[in-house]
């Protein structure tokens, strides 16, 4: 099998590092943070709820952490 060139291998390694770093074995956290950012952006764009954005952001982050912990707990039980 033909080996990839050095730039391709470096690029693949770089992409793999960030994939492991951000997604790894907790894809639910990655997805949750994207969803949180989207929801808070919508709340902020609506223009009347900048303070509400702070509460929404914090509550959603706490719930996302809880959901990830709950998922791990279920996986252990199985």
Partner 1 sequence: MLGVTVSSGVFVLVGAVFLACAVEMVEALTIVFAVGHTRGWRSATEGTVVALVALAALVAAFGPTLVSVPLNVLRLVVGGVLLIFGMQWLRKAILRSSGLKAKHDEDEIYKETVAELSAMSTSTDRDRIAFVMAFKGVFLEGLEVVITVLTLGTSAHRLGLAVVTAGVAIVVVGIVGIIVAQQLSSVPENAMKMAVGILLVSYGTFWTGEGLKVHWPGGDTMLLGLVGIYVVITFLYVTWLRSSNPLRISEVSA
Q: CB 76 → partner 1: shortest distance, Å?
A: 5
> Whole-angstrom Cα distance, residue 40 to residue 59?
11
Size of the site for partner 1 (CB under 8 A): 32
Q: Which one of 29, 46, 48, 78 is in contact with partner 1 (CB under 8 A)?
A: 29
> Whole-angstrom Cα distance, residue 27 to residue 71?
11
Q: Which is nearer to partner 1, 5 or 21 (CB)?
A: 21
Chain centroid to CA 49: 24
Q: Indicate whether 19 belongs to the interface with partner 1 (CB under 8 A).
A: no
Distances (CA, A) of 10 to 3, 13, 18, 22, 78: 13, 5, 12, 18, 38
Residues that bind partner 1 (CB under 8 A): 17, 21-22, 24, 26, 29-30, 32-34, 36-37, 40-41, 44, 50-51, 53-54, 57-58, 61-62, 64-66, 68-69, 72-73, 76-77
């Amino acid at each position: 099998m033909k080996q990839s060139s050095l730039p391709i291998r470096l690029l693949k390694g770089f992409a793999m590092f960030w994939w492991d770093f951000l997604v790894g074995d907790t894809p639910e956290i990655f997805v949750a943070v994207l969803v949180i950012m989207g929801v808070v952006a919508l709340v902020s764009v609506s223009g009347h709820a900048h303070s509400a954005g702070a509460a929404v952001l914090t509550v959603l982050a706490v719930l996302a952490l809880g959901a990830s912990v709950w998922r791990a707990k279920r996986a252990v039980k199985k």
